[in-house]
Copies of this chain bind each other. A is one copy, B any other.
Amino acid sequence: MPETLITTAAPAAPPRASPMRPPRPAISSRVVGENLTLLYEGGRNRSLYRVVDGCVVLSQLLDDGRRQITDVLGPGRLFGFTVDGRNIATAETLSIARIEPLGDADLNATNPAVASELKTTLQRMQVHATLLGRKTASEKVASALVELARLFNRTGRNGAPARLSFHLHLTRADLADWLGLTVETVSRCLNRFKREGLIDFSHPKTMRVLDPERLEATAGFTRHRAGDAARP
């Protein structure tokens, strides 16, 4: 197989009725299965893709098997960026997902909306670098929960602000690879948060935030905003 391509789900799963579905249904979107590798780092790919619904992660591998998840994408996010026609990262689905191809990656990079998405992604990467380099294990795990809660927030059926319950698409191993930790450390942090009443989960992936304020406090200090002050 000379090119890395978007793979359609073997058994075409019915699109989940999701509250995150955008108002205008995508015409050319495809539904792909769970745990599929859509793009390989270093592989060729000329298109850009939008996550319409579901969860996609980007990752890089060291050749001894160490893995780093570099980004977790929810609805609306783009992926498939290339340098010299080669994919920057491997892209995998962590859920059944709806993916919309946007056509030529290079052409699209000059589209204002895509350029804006690129800058937003760059900002996210820098924030995550700060997490990886400068936060403790507890802060990392708490930060991840805060972020994933925002991403996969379940809105109430009345469109209300939503309960603080969400589906954790990532396994403990995925969380570890995202946060630069080990599975054991992630598990210990989550269960400590549970004992301390910050969160609750009966099923490992069904998360519920019980105390948003303390969780955010545990997530560590927010990024410093120098604002408009200037040092001479």
Contact = CB atoms under 8 A, between A and B. Distances in A.
A118 interface: yes
A1 interface: yes
A223 interface: yes
A4 B228 CA distance: 6
Interface in A113-148: 115-116, 118-123, 125-130, 132-135
14 contacts: A2-B228, A4-B228, A40-B229, A63-B224, A64-B221, A66-B130, A68-B129, A68-B134, A81-B122, A88-B126, A109-B116, A115-B115, A115-B118, A132-B180
A125 B89 CA distance: 11
Contacts of A220: 62
Nearest to A65: B224
A47 B71 CA distance: 28
A3 interface: yes
Interface residues of A, number: 66
Contacts of A228: 1-4, 40, 43-44
* 10 nearest CB pairs, A to B: A133-B180, A61-B224, A109-B115, A132-B132, A68-B130, A125-B125, A40-B226, A42-B225, A63-B224, A62-B221
Interface string A212-230: 0000000011111111111
A41 B127 CA distance: 11
Decide if the interface of chain A is mainly helix, strand, loop or mixed.
Answer: mixed
A44 B58 CA distance: 31
Contact of A221 (B44, B63, B90): B63
A95 interface: no
A187 interface: no
Nearest to A134: B66
A66 B64 CA distance: 31
